[in-house]
A = this chain, B = another copy of it.
């Protein structure tokens, strides 16, 4: 099992995970649009953004997330790591892979010198909340979203 930046060839597998709610989506069935290509290239070229994939011994993408490293004036100038779009493949849930994914991304942020890891989770996702609580996160904030 390894956590590393997604390659361009893995973009369909990442999009399949993002589309995967209850059951596995076949990467071969996913349409990669020019907007996807552009966004992926933008993220790859940005030293403060990365899409990470958790890959098993058979080279299967079993999880993914996006991290943004945010510079700031507080905390001695250290970055904070913002995590979005955490996914584990539907047929691989319940076996501790989510915990593995989160532990590795936290270690990665720590190695980079980040002072904080932060994320938001929809208020309806009470299972996810218990999971983040168990990883040591403080549920200290409310998260506000405004669609434009």
Contact assessment for A135 and B143 in the assembled complex, using a CB-CB cutoff below 8 Å: no
Bitwise interface map of A from 137 to 148 toward B, beta carbon under 8 Å scored 1, else 0: 111111111111
A71, B71: Cα distance in complex, Å: 16
Which of B42, B85, B140, B144 has a CB less than 8 Å from the CB of A145?
B140
List the number of copies, as a whole number: 2
For chain A, the count of residues having a C-beta within 8 Å of the partner chain is 56
Residue numbers in B under 8 Å from A76 (CB-CB): 35
Contact assessment for A73 and B118 in the assembled complex, using a CB-CB cutoff below 8 Å: no
A74, B139: Cα distance in complex, Å: 25
* A123 with B141, Cβ < 8 A, contacts A68-B70, A84-B72, A148-B117 known: yes
A residues sitting closer than 8 Å to B (CB atoms) are 14-15, 18, 33, 35-36, 38-40, 42-43, 46, 48-49, 51, 66, 68, 70-74, 76-77, 82, 84-85, 106, 109-110, 114-123, 129, 132, 135-148
Known: A39-B77, A122-B141, A142-B143. 18 other contacts (CB 8 A): A14-B73, A18-B74, A36-B73, A43-B71, A46-B71, A51-B73, A68-B70, A73-B85, A109-B148, A115-B148, A117-B145, A118-B145, A119-B144, A121-B141, A122-B140, A123-B140, A138-B144, A139-B144
